[in-house]
Structure 1
Amino acid sequence: MKIPDSGLMESSSCAGSEEDGAAKVLENPAVRVRIEGDVFTADKVLLESNCEYFRALFQSGMKECQQEEIHLQVVSARGFLVALQVIRGERPILSDDEIVKAIECAAFLQVQPLVRHLMNLVNSDNCLLMYHTAATYGVLELSRSTALFIRDMYQDLKEEVRCLPKELIDYVESLVPSTYVMVGTHSPSNQQLQNFMRTVCYLDEDEKDWKVLTHLPLDASTTMAGVTVLNGKLYIVGGLYDLSNRVVDSGFCYDVASSTWSTFPSPQQLRYNCTLLGHEGSLYALGGEFERTTISSVEKYDVSTDRWSFAAHLPRPASSVPCTKSMGRIFICLWKPKDATEIYEYLPIKNEWVLLTTLIRHQSYGHCMVAHRDNLYVMRNGPCDDFLRCMMDCYNLTTGQWTAMPGQYENSKGALFTAVVRGDSVFTVNRRATVEYSIEGDKWRTKKEMTGFPRIGSMWTFLLRLPKKSKEPLGKPELSNGQNFKVLSDLRPSSSAECND
């Protein structure tokens, strides 16, 4: 029997009372799905909670609500198997043929977890196939996400992109690419004695130079703060006022689209020297210090509700925790003096930290960690605490194997402890140079060298998609991007520092 295309039908109860229905679920929670001669046994509740097609079917009142076997003819067996793996919590790596079948399944059965999994798998090898297929089947979220990835790598993929239909090429070219952005270490200022060097700057890759994006609000501090980006906005939490270690008790958010600053609540536990991470609509403040004591608490800020709540503590107290995201997963790097580096994964659904692997290296202090595809790169000082050199080790999530990266990387060329990955490139910066590395197998090759950032102190680097506006070079006397910049000295949660054209 062929199941008709149910779409999003009006919900109603299956035949029988609620008590009878509950008894049937307890007796037989599984359902068989037959596709192309293959039969899959699946948890009925799992299908209903993760797949719009089955949710509509099981709530439709049709006789299929009570059937033990359902026949599907709209998707392939292989695509449905991938969907089942994903909704059961697996993370399969897919071939090109499996990608096409999975996208087809995601489109017809409306399996949102599968769409998210495919978005996490996008890379330079499969992005064109994913983009074309997602656009063909109308999986808009995946299509847009992949188009943005292609836009970020447009120069490297320019020849291959020509194979796409013109309308798809035009859409990619209409998008704004990610820009390498940096903010240095700055304490709060005041209206009478403003520090006009307190700026957030971006790299103009065409001119190979740094330019001003915006000024920090007077009350904002990036000294030992947590800094991150979430949904196109810059967030700052937990900076210090001065050497007294007094913590700034407001968070600051910069909206790139409107070029405005606003405030939001600080974590319930004031902290500095913490790590801030943005993930799926929330900020995570990891560890840090308070009153010169290292802490292990973690707090989660839900942007939509404007509230902080405590999450699972770090495995042990830690500050300036190296962290990264890979394929939609959160990882941190902790070290035990002095020869062990541990990688933990945070599982949001279970709210727990799980030890993934341990690396034993002499003087193995992990200072930074970045991700590319399914690889985690851990950077540390060279032998004998040589801060002008950087050693790297790579952990592959799929194979569970560590690889020592060959050679040493000159930290004087590019500060690898502030590395940011975009596509197949890694951007680094220090006072001397901004360096773009190309990730090629088991090595990073210098691709381009540009002007460094001529200021001292720690730097936070990240990617933002900036509106197409004319900006002035870093160091211009007005430092105002050709705009009338206004900062409200008495910044309240309802106030903002504005940059008006």
Structure 2
Amino acid sequence: MSSYSSSESEDGSVNGGDENFPPFCANGDLVSTRLTIVVGGTHFTEDKMLLVRNSDYFRALYRSGMRECSQGKIHLKSLGPKGFIIALAVLRGDMPILDADEIVEAIECAAFLQVGQLTKHLVKLIDSDNCFLMYHTAANFGLMDLYHATAMFIRNMYVELESEVRKTLPTELVTYVESLKPSVLVAVGAHVTCGANDTIHTDSRTVCYLDETENIWKVLTDLPLQASTSMAGVTVLDNKLYVIGGVDGLHKQVVEACFVYCVDNNTWSRISSPKQLRYNFSLVGLDGRLFAVGGECDRTLMSSVEIYDVITDTWEFAAHLPRPVAGAACTKAMGRIFVCLWRPMETTEIYEYIAREEEEWRLVTTLIKQQSYGHCMVGHKDNLYVMRNGPSGDFLRCLMDCYNLTTGEWTSLPGHFTNSRGALFTAVVRSDLVLTLNRSMTLEYAVEGKTWKPRRQMKGFPRSGTVWTFLMQLPDELMLQ
């Protein structure tokens, strides 16, 4: 975990500071200056703007007109210094991995100072070892976003955790967990557009989910007739399914129509199309936005990237990739987006999207191994798992390597991941479990450390060709159809 030093004179005042500086300019904007915060006897000297922009507590304080907002020193008597150090680390872009004591202090700080960025970081750290501590502590401090996220994590692993839940948690917390809908595995295959009378194709143009109790795939909804999932961008964001672009016909005519499916009312709606029509691209959703990465148009590879804002229904161009790519493996981990790019000889490069004043795709790491061409990349906590061809180009067996974002180290997972009747191209993470899918079987793995341990086998998705998988929470009325 990162910590930060403070600058303080012997008498406790801020070095070079003024105890009575005005906090705002004449137009009401906050003056950017240094501020001393005393937390549990420890003095921190920080940029006031950093605190005001990221903490509802400090924002309210400096808009209140109270005497404290004109002082150069503030005492926070209700907090411990460790939680404040963690908050500062997160606000500066660090991703500290926390032990039990640090988690408690971080939750207390996030709740008291209302630091949304710290809350989001805590959500990223939820795992089977700390979920009960996080859930109970978040309930005690009223940190509702973390409270819900942790309850959802527990709900998605309820088969494994139920006995411990009932022994460990108060009744009201158990009741809330059991009231949530678990995330189910949803899949859709590749289909082109079709006419209303094309019954041969319309019967198979469905989005399906796996009923794990009955071990059978059931139809969730039909695709819109104008929608194509062939070489399209398909993903789920905030429990809504998006289908962007794709192609139609042998000549790969780009489909302009884009759709979103809402499970709450079981309806499809049209949304705006990207400025640059594309197919065979990667689509990933994060923080209310969709990222359309690379792809092709008129059989030409592209490096362009567009971002779709769900609220405004608009697309804007983002930083280009370092080079053109189509069908790249793409994932998110720790609230960040990563993409695999390949180059001879047998080299996989992983880039991260950096959204700052000068946005860019920054090289994170390079993997050079035989058959290192990455088919699929999955993020779990601070690990990126890259699946690649098996030995001697054996497409029926995948090898897997893990890159840890915190340590910057690569490790190889032991054994092979068998993919009879087709290579494994799709996998999703559900709490501390991973679901992989092909025509023969759905395999569930438990992530323990950096190792995937087979847990159970279920029915495969009975469709040929490309398949997209994702998790969704479905209302009872849809699952009872």
TM-score when normalising by structure 2: 0.91
| Identical amino acids, percent of aligned pairs | 58
How many Å separate the matches in 1 of 2:270 and 2:170?
44
1:172 aligns with 2:177: yes
Choose which of 295, 299, 308 in structure 2 pairs with 1:288: 295
How many Å separate the matches in 2 of 1:392 and 1:260?
38
| 1:220-255: CA deviation from partner (whole Å, max 9, x where unpaired) | 111111100001100011211111110110111111
Choose which of 124, 142, 145 in structure 1 pairs with 2:146: 142
1:111 Cα shift?
1.2
Q: Which residue of 2 aligns with 1:235?
A: 242
How many Å separate the matches in 1 of 2:194 and 2:23?
69
How many Å separate the matches in 2 of 1:225 and 1:292?
14
Conserved 8 A contact 2:328-2:341: yes
Between 1:447-456 and 1:41-50, the stretch displaced more is 447-456
Q: Which residue of 2 aligns with 1:45?
A: 49
Does the residue aligned with 1:416 lie in a helix, a strand or coil?
coil
Conserved 8 A contact 1:414-1:429: no
Q: Which residue of 1 aligns with 2:351?
A: 344
Q: Which residue of 1 aligns with 2:11?
A: none
Conserved 8 A contact 1:238-1:273: no
Q: Which residue of 2 aligns with 1:257?
A: 264
Q: Which residue of 1 aligns with 2:58?
A: 54
Conserved 8 A contact 2:396-2:422: no
| 1:74-130: CA deviation from partner (whole Å, max 9, x where unpaired) | 111111111111122222111111111111111111111111111111111111111
Q: Which residue of 2 aligns with 1:498?
A: none
Between 1:192-201 and 1:439-448, the stretch displaced more is 439-448
| 1:126-182: CA deviation from partner (whole Å, max 9, x where unpaired) | 111111111111111111111111111111111221111100100000000000010
Q: Which residue of 1 aligns with 2:81?
A: 77
1:422 aligns with 2:445: no
| 1:325-358: CA deviation from partner (whole Å, max 9, x where unpaired) | 1111111111112311111111223421110000
1:15 Cα shift?
6.3
Q: Which residue of 2 aligns with 1:321?
A: 328
| 1:192-220: CA deviation from partner (whole Å, max 9, x where unpaired) | 11320111010011111111111111111
1:150 alignment partner AA: I
Choose which of 412, 434, 447 in structure 2 pairs with 1:404: 412
| 1:345-403: CA deviation from partner (whole Å, max 9, x where unpaired) | 11223421110000111231111000112111000111222111101110011110000
Q: How does 1:15-414 map to 2 (within 5 A)?
A: 18=25, 25=31, 29-162=33-166, 163-194=168-199, 195=201, 196-350=203-357, 351-412=359-420
How many Å separate the matches in 1 of 2:323 and 2:85?
39
1:20 Cα shift?
11
Is there any run of 5+ residues in structure 1 with no aligned partner, and where?
1-13, 473-480, 482-501
Conserved 8 A contact 2:220-2:478: no
1:471 Cα shift?
4.6
How many positions carry a matched residue from both structures? Answer: 458
Is there any run of 5+ residues in structure 2 with no aligned partner, and where?
1-20
Conserved 8 A contact 1:405-1:442: yes
1:127 alignment partner AA: C
Between 1:54-63 and 1:339-348, the stretch displaced more is 54-63
1:59 Cα shift?
2.4
How many Å separate the matches in 2 of 1:369 and 1:44?
40
Conserved 8 A contact 1:414-1:428: no
TM-score when normalising by structure 1: 0.88
Conserved 8 A contact 2:232-2:280: yes
Conserved 8 A contact 1:413-1:435: no
